[in-house]
Amino acid sequence: MASSVSSMAQCLSAATRTCFRRQIYAPCRALRTLSPPSSPSAQFTTTRSLSQMRSTQQQQHHQQTKLLSSRSFTTSTARPVGKTTMGQLKSRQRNGPFSWKAALLFVATGAAMVVYFRVEKARLERKRVTEMSKGVGRPKVGGPFVLKDLEGREFTAEDLKGKYSFVYFGFTHCPDICPDELDKMAAIIDNVKAASNGAEVMKPVFITCDPARDTPQVLKKYLAEFHPDIIGLTGTYQQVKQVCKAYRVYFSTPENVTAGEDYLVDHSIYFYLMDPEGDFVECVGRQDTPESATRLIMQHVNDWKREGKPLAQ
């Protein structure tokens, strides 16, 4: 009986140990089944893969950090607002949106526009007056004529075309008015040439109202005392009468006079400005100074150029 109990106790102890071993080693066998022991090269490959994964994760984390730092809603400011910036803001708030530079630019632009519109208005008015002088119902000033120049050659109205012409009627025996007006003409010639940078834009012409005494030789000597650019013209009594009539010039020269007879000639005292097409533009009277006459002439010359019309060289 005692041996039987002892034998049963030994069997129970052996069964208990076997069950315990199964409980302990069964998971270990399962792990060995799932993850068999690898070779050294496989272990190195696994280690390198893990290292690459860590490096990739670090790079992604760095990029995310950089992206977040560049966003506009970051709490850090781009640059601190200094005292100068605050002073500028206060000055801008005190002065308003306009600075003194903007005000100066505004005033300069406004002044330039006013000057431009005044000049343009004056130009259009001059053009209107010129067109009216060509219209129906108004006396036409100028026209065809045939005279002789200082060399005795034929000179017609066609020879004046291509440039502006500045025509004056007088006579060499005039005691006072003609010399004064020819002095003015000489000053105007020089002023216009200077204003045109030396260009020949105008032909100054002196037509005698006394053809009986003012021959080409007499005119040449007389006009040389005033200006070498003045073109002197004379002709027969009928030729002079025709050109005076065309220019609406009054003169009282007797038709039949004897040599040596002394007389005075009454005539109109005006300079006639004609455009390059031979049309009348303006009259310049005794009240005009050389400066005012020069301004008037150059205004018409510049208007002509501005419209793209040519001037003869």
Backbone φ and ψ of 166, nearest 5°:
-120, 100
Mean pLDDT of 36-45: 48
| Domain definitions of the chain by residue range | 146-307
Distance, C-alpha 44 to centroid of its chain? 79
Measured distance between the N- and C-terminal CA atoms of the chain, rounded to whole angstroms = 159
- Looking at the predicted structure, is the pLDDT value of residue 281 above 70? yes
Binding-site members for Cu cation are 174, 178, 267
CA distance 165 to 220: 19
The residues, any chain, with a CB within 8 Å of residue 236's CB and separated by 6 or more, are 211
Residue 153 to residues 106, 111, 203, 237: CA-CA distances in angstroms? 61, 53, 17, 17
Fold of 146-307: Glutaredoxin (3.40.30)
Residue 191 to residues 77, 133, 148, 295, 304: CA-CA distances in angstroms? 69, 27, 27, 9, 18
> 12-16, 22-26, 236-240, 308-312: which has the highest mean pLDDT?
236-240
pLDDT at 19: 47
Q: How many CB atoms lie within 10 A of CB 246?
A: 15
Q: Write out pLDDT tens, residues 103-121.
A: 777 788 887 777 666 666 6
The residues, any chain, with a CB within 8 Å of residue 158's CB and separated by 6 or more, are 144, 278
Quick one: tokens of 263? Answer: 């007389």
- Looking at the predicted structure, is the pLDDT value of residue 301 above 70? yes
Q: Write out pLDDT tens, residues 55-83.
A: 666 666 566 555 555 554 444 455 554 44
pLDDT at 218: 96
User: HSE of 64 in the Cβ direction (CA atoms, 13 Å)?
Assistant: 6
Binding-site members are 174, 178, 267
Distance, C-alpha 277 to centroid of its chain? 30
Give the predicted TM-score (pTM) of the model. 0.58
Which letter does DSSP use for residue 251 in this model? B
Q: Cβ distance 209 to 249 under 8 Å? A: yes
- Looking at the predicted structure, is the pLDDT value of residue 34 above 50? no
Token pair 């034929």: residue: 154
Higher confidence at residue 227 or residue 269?
227
Quick one: tokens of 124? Answer: 């259009």
CA distance 242 to 232: 17
pLDDT at 20: 44
Which letter does DSSP use for residue 174 in this model? -
Q: Write out pLDDT tens, residues 133-188.
A: 554 445 688 999 999 999 999 999 999 999 999 999 999 999 889 999 999 999 99
pLDDT at 254: 73
Backbone φ and ψ of 244, nearest 5°:
-65, -40
pLDDT at 89: 59
CA distance 9 to 17: 12
